[in-house]
Amino acid sequence: MDQPTRDRIHRMVTTYPVMLFMKGTPEEPRCGFSAKVAQILKYQGTRFASYDVLADPMVREGIKEYGQWPTIPQLYVNGELVGGSDIISELFESGELADVLGKAGPMPEPAQS
């Protein structure tokens, strides 16, 4: 991964306390595993940012190295990888996910244009 890509990913996970890298968007997911995690976050009522890796080959590959995690989706909370769809599903089913998300900082307000 080149440095600009690493910097871009780093900026996303540190700017947004709950940041989901997924295939497609929460509204139009392009993969069942990504859809599942987005659905769980919506169900939890969590505000989150998402990034469609299918639209960005550099991030699609780079996020695997950044997270030391070979698959997508990847959910980051406060800059730390929490997991992919299996872990997020387990945390959701056990009730632990609410605690993890509860530790997330406030979402930044969208920049005024």
Partner 1 sequence: MDTRDEMMRRILAALPDAQVTLSDMTGGGDHWEGQVVSASFAGQSRITRYRAVYAALGDLMPIRVHAFTFKALTPAEAGE
Residue ranges in contact with partner 1 by CB under 8 A: 33, 68-71, 81-87, 90-91
Nearer to partner 1, 41 or 88 (CB): 88
User: In this structure, are residues 20 and 75 in contact, taking their beta carbons and an 8 Å threshold?
Assistant: yes
Nearer to partner 1, 104 or 107 (CB): 104
- When the beta carbons of 9 and 81 are compared against partner 1, the nearer one is 81
Taking the complex as a whole, the smallest distance from the CB of residue 23 to partner 1 amounts, in Å, to 11
Of 82, 111, 78, residue with least CA distance to 97: 82
Sign of the Cα pseudo-torsion (35, 13, 100, 71, in order) = positive
Minimum separation from the CB atom of position 113 to partner 1 (A) = 37
